């Protein structure tokens, strides 16, 4: 099986209530961003942009993230009357893309598509060659996606309660797939295991396609997946949905309850997407970019796409995104420290 096992060492007693309070506080902060982000005047920088803007994508062409970036691309080109080019730099859990953008000229012409994994990495890696909050500048928290936990039909559990009961009766035997140790897919499993008082076996893959093949073949018991990519295998009966792992139910699966509703209050998978640029970019340019992204993600055509995908548009200000990112980074560090989690590739 093309996967690597993760060695996870946990402290003798997990701190479930502390973890729940931490993440509940963070996601209240994130959810308030949309309400706080209002229309306000944005100072304009003359002649910006005077050439195409490049967005660095940490994933391969054709991925769900790439599809979302195409929606931004269309909206920004209409807003700025300039091309938005996409430059693919996948690998190393977003580090390659982030590191590249951190070293570019701080003029707003190079952006990076950012997800929750970028906020988790500093909790494990002290040797990063860039600082998320100094070498990169927040532009906008753009969207939040719905994620679900799916399982192979052979797993004797059809909902969250049964999943927890089976895992508790078979400690360390229920497998949970992720794309690399220390990422959001992995850490959401660590959070669930800590909150439910169970032990899961984490299996890491280099790509989601291989992980899905093993799930469908029964070599993996369960996988967290974006709802839009999980729907086909759920509807075909090739996999079954255990629970929604983001904070709210989806209208695409209205009868499927969330983990928060079924046992871990405040549990909310960090399925956010944000845009950052090089640190030191003038605030006026950053604010122009932020306003452009807000316009792009709330355009009528974009709204239809978000509804079909189970995605929630946010469109925050740079300050709101930075506040949320800072809080989340601190919370992941606490989860890792308090539970002595070690991610060894």
- For 85-122, how does the pLDDT look when each residue is reduced to its tens digit (9 = 90+)? 999 999 888 899 999 999 999 999 999 999 998 999 89
- For 281-315, how does the pLDDT look when each residue is reduced to its tens digit (9 = 90+)? 999 999 999 999 999 999 999 999 998 888 999 99
Q: How confident is the model at residue 55 (pLDDT cuts 50, 70, 90)?
A: very high
Angstrom distance (rounded) from CA 312 to CA 37: 14
Query: Which of these, 319, 336, 244, 310, lies nearest to 283 by C-alpha position?
Result: 319
Sign of CA dihedral 141, 293, 229, 124: negative
Q: Can you list the domains of the chain with their CATH numbers?
A: 4-14+146-262 (3.40.190.10), 27-144+271-338 (3.40.190.150)
How many distinct helices (H) and strands (E) make up the chain? Answer: 12, 12
Q: Is 149 in contact with 245 (CB distance < 8 Å)? A: yes
Neighbours of 239 (CB within 10 A): 23
The pLDDT score that the predictor gives to residue 1 is 45
Q: What is the mean pLDDT of the chain?
A: 87
- For 243-268, how does the pLDDT look when each residue is reduced to its tens digit (9 = 90+)? 999 999 999 999 999 999 998 998 98
Q: How confident is the model at residue 344 (pLDDT cuts 50, 70, 90)?
A: low
- End-to-end Cα, the chain, rounded Å: 16
Both tokens of residue 186?
């992995």
Q: How confident is the model at residue 242 (pLDDT cuts 50, 70, 90)?
A: very high
Three-class secondary structure assignment of 22-39? HHHHHHHHHHHHHHHCCC
24-33, 114-123, 334-343: which has the minimum mean pLDDT?
Answer: 24-33
Q: Which residues pair with 175 in a beta bridge?
A: 201
Both tokens of residue 152?
């192979």
* Cβ neighbourhood burial of 140 (10 Å; 0-12, 13-18, 19+): buried
Q: How confident is the model at residue 15 (pLDDT cuts 50, 70, 90)?
A: very low
Q: Which residues pair with 115 in a beta bridge?
A: 273
Neighbours of 4 (CB within 10 A): 15
């Amino acid at each position: 099986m093309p996967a690597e096992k993760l060695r996870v060492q946990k402290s003798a007693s997990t701190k479930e209530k502390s973890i729940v309070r931490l993440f509940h506080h963070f996601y209240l902060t994130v959810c308030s961003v949309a309400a706080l982000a209002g229309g306000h005047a944005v100072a304009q920088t003359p002649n910006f942009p005077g050439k195409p803007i490049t967005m660095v994508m940490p994933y391969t062409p054709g991925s769900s993230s790439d599809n979302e970036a195409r929606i931004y691309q269309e909206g920004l080109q209409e807003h700025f009357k300039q091309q938005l080019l996409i430059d693919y730099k996948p690998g190393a859990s977003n580090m390659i893309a982030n590191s590249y953008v951190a070293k570019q000229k701080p003029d707003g012409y190079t952006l990076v598509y950012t997800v929750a994994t970028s906020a988790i990495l500093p909790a494990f890696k002290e040797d990063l060659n860039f600082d998320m909050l100094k070498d990169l500048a927040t532009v906008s928290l753009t969207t939040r996606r719905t994620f679900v936990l799916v399982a192979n039909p052979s797993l004797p559990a059809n909902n969250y309660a049964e999943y927890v009961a089976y895992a508790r009766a078979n400690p360390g035997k229920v497998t949970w797939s992720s794309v690399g140790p220390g990422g959001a897919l992995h850490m959401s499993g660590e959070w669930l295991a800590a909150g439910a008082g169970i032990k899961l076996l984490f299996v890491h893959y280099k790509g989601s396609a291989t992980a899905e093949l093993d799930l469908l073949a029964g070599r993996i018991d369960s996988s967290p997946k974006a709802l839009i990519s999980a729907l086909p295998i759920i509807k075909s009966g090739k996999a079954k949905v255990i629970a929604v792992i983001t904070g709210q139910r989806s209208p695409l699966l209205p009868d499927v309850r969330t983990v928060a509703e079924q046992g871990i209050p405040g549990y909310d998978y960090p399925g956010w997407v944000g845009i950052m640029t090089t640190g030191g970019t003038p605030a006026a340019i950053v604010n122009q970019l932020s306003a452009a992204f807000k316009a792009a993600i709330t355009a009528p055509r974009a709204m239809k796409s978000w509804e079909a995908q189970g995605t929630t548009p946010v469109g925050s200000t740079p300050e709101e995104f930075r506040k949320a990112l800072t809080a989340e980074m601190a919370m992941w560090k606490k989860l890792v420290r308090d539970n002595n989690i070690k991610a060894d590739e």
